[in-house]
Structure 1
């Protein structure tokens, strides 16, 4: 295994799923976050995820969940990044936060370590410019839920070397995932398009054209989408959707990326989607989704 030790920054929803996937593939993982409480929640969530996955996946069912968890070191100590060969950063979609994280990683990680940004929209070239290793900075956009996605959007920055792209392609192949390589522009392919659809769907609800349930049913039943745009937003996290739209608006200065006022209001109200129990739909009951 080319990268036996891998660092993961951020123990939120996506970072936790990335750490779990890596541990299941046999990697030793150093999962770093700034708060012990967040790390404790991540450990609990991975245990629950493994139990749930074992209902559908015989391989997970036959593997010791304790062994998988033992491969993950949950820590607040960035100095542990000095031991890894590749880092996947999942920190908050905010330039000041990402900038600070990448400067810290560049100081701490070995010189040949690849720094992979799991970012929704922030420019990989801009992130690389904060380091002394721009050829080893790359975008690796895992999407939620990580264990169900067979493809990963890989983003090549201005200075990202072909060797780094190939190394990451092989690394993802070891996880059973295929890389699709895109060039670097904010939002890349997926979120440059997806966020527009989500944002416009929220405008449709704000303008009382249709309820969230009806909006999503049209996409699922008429357009054969696996999930409607509003349920997708709830899954991503409405706070993350808002941060991503703000990054896109700042990057392109194009009004089409202006976040819907209803989205901003819901985030202010703490309605962040699945992770808060309520967003465009209510996830707290046993009867399925309900418009709040």
Structure 2
């Protein structure tokens, strides 16, 4: 399958990163979301990200930020996905919202298009169940920031075909990324471990065992982690963390996935981390 046009659904933090990475690797991208305001913000974020990235990563490319942006079509109309060879869906981690997107994609996209769900916890088999092409649905858990992360966690759903897996690997190779293939399970490998770690770190803060800074310092100083769990939570987004841990709690019915009350309170207060300007740390 020759992947030329890629549809990216959802222009949040992850969708912006995926669209930027695709444009920088020579793809034509259609980025869709529900409002022009969201798309205008996404366009500015991509422009800023490219400029910021140029300070840290040397490249022989002569492309300007505008050259890269010209490869991305921004639209609120899903009809613009009608020629997409491959779709990466990045809608919020709420099943009631996510499940409405796939029947719409089914009705618009070519029959041979592959749907990649960029989700941190929702089972891929569940997502495939609301499509007419379950064999062409695959999980792709990208890491943030997408253009800077070389590895992707790829998830095989119950019906995902070998052909779809190979197409997914080819697609990621075109983006300059490696992948690790795992079987479908809520949270997969990375977030089944990471969400518990972050949630427990928030419990430590709530119980006044240690400060935000000291919790993170222990993980960086003792284990060599580049970021502590609370810094990581701010980067991912506390709302996304809460959605993910709730998915794990719902699917496993295990009390170890019970969301920390402090995490819930912070999300209710709009303290979503870096993207909102304040979470466990303050950002300007």
Q: Normalising TM by the smaller chain, what interval? A: over 0.9
Deviations 1:94-120 (A, max 9, x none): 111111011111111110000000001
1:38 matched to 2:38: yes
- Equivalence for 2:236: 236
Paired position in structure 2 for 1:143: 143
Corresponding residue of 2:80: 80
Q: Secondary structure at the match of 1:87?
A: strand
Match of 2:117 in 1: 117
Partner Cα distance (2:146, 2:87) in 1: 16
Shift of 1:60: 7.1
| CA drift at 1:193 | 0.5
Q: Once the two structures are superposed, what CA deviation does each residue of 1:126-176 show, in whole Å capped at 9, x if it has no partner? A: 111111101000001111011121110000000000010011101101111
* Residue in structure 2 matched with residue 288 of structure 1 by the alignment: none
Q: 3-state DSSP class of the match of 1:111?
A: coil
* Alignment pair present for 1:208 and 2:199: no
- Tell me, in whole angstroms, the C-alpha distance in 1 between the residues paired with 2:125 and 2:190: 18
Deviation at 1:178, TM superposition (A): 0.5
For residues 23-54 of structure 1, the C-alpha deviation after alignment (integer angstroms, 9 at most, x for no partner) is: 00010000000011000000000010011111
SS of the residue corresponding to residue 278 of structure 2 reads: coil
The residue that corresponds to 1:62 in the other structure is 62
Q: CA deviation at 1:58?
A: 2.5
Is the partner of 2:249 in helix, strand or coil?
Answer: helix
Aligned to 2:129: 129
When structure 1 is superposed on structure 2, of 50-59 and 194-203 the one drifting more is 50-59
Alignment of 1:150-169 (within 5 A): 150-169=150-169
Q: Number of aligned residue pairs: give it.
A: 284
Bigger mean CA offset, 238-247 vs 52-61 = 52-61
- CA distance in 2 between counterparts of 1:31 and 1:2 reads 19
Cα drift, residue 10 of structure 1: 0.4
Question: Structure 2, unaligned stretches of length 5 or more?
Answer: none
Alpha carbons 1:272, 1:279 under 8 Å: kept: yes
Q: Which residue of 2 aligns with 1:170?
A: 170
Partners of 2:147 and 2:24 in 1: how far apart?
Answer: 10
Q: Give the superposed CA RMSD.
A: 1.0
Alignment check: 8 A CA contact 1:54 1:61 kept: no
TM-score (normalised: structure 1): 0.96
The ranges of structure 1 where at least 4 consecutive aligned residues each deviate by more than 3 angstroms after the TM superposition are none
How far apart are residue 281 of structure 1 and its match? 0.7
Distance apart, 1:223 and its partner CA: 1.0
CA drift at 1:56:
1.9
| 1:283 is aligned to 2:283 | yes
Deviation at 1:283, TM superposition (A): 1.2
